[in-house]
A and B are shown apart, each in its own frame.
Chain A
């Protein structure tokens, strides 16, 4: 069964360092999402891509966070510099397409748990 792949699964870093997370969506899924899940809370959308274009990055802290999906397939989320408050689970999800025919199921990867010391 096709799955969303993420790496690494765990990352420990010191504050002010740079970190990067990678996501490979299910083949053929045009829409890709990055969510942040702080412990004890629900996921919050950081950025949404349609193919290689950003559709929504209104909640992305752009002073330190960046995301790209250069060829419209896999994606990288970067934090530079990391801060203590960035400790969270970073989840990637993909769906066939955003469109007008109603909501399409999002498939989630296992996540990357980031700890900033």
Chain B
């Protein structure tokens, strides 16, 4: 079955710092890859996605590249803001089946 291993948190950074949250996966077939974000008191929101090898998903200054050779989908942002404080989840699903398998989440706190 599918599984996702995500960087342990919590992560605390200063504003304008560079962010990396690591994510690796195991899957049967050729999965689609996602990053979801959960702000306090809210449901999950799709942040970005990639559906094939070497695709780069991007949104709100965040980026992640589908690396099939290393089965990874690391999330990066060049300059974080206080408003980026949230919990970030890496997730995968198989082609034709939208069932999502999530990582454990990484809590990110940005201090001014």
Contact = CB atoms under 8 A, between A and B. Distances in A.
Interface of A: 4, 31, 33, 40-45, 48, 56, 91, 93, 95, 98-100, 102-111
Contact of A56 (B45, B51, B99): B99
B89 A106 contact: no
Contact of B98 (A40, A44, A103): A103
20 contacts: A31-B98, A33-B98, A42-B6, A42-B89, A42-B103, A43-B44, A43-B102, A56-B99, A91-B43, A91-B44, A98-B97, A102-B32, A103-B51, A104-B98, A105-B49, A106-B46, A106-B98, A107-B46, A110-B42, A111-B43
If over half of A's interface residues share one DSSP class (helix, strand or loop), that class is named, otherwise mixed; here it is loop
B18 interface: no
Contact of A42 (B45, B99, B102): B102
Contacts, number: 62
B81 interface: no
Interface string B1-28: 0001010000000000000000000000
A110 B43 contact: yes
Nearest to B52: A102
A103 B100 CA distance: 10
Contacts of B104: 40-42
Contact of A99 (B4, B96, B99, B103): B96
B75 interface: no
A102 B95 contact: yes
Nearest to B102: A42
Nearest to A101: B96
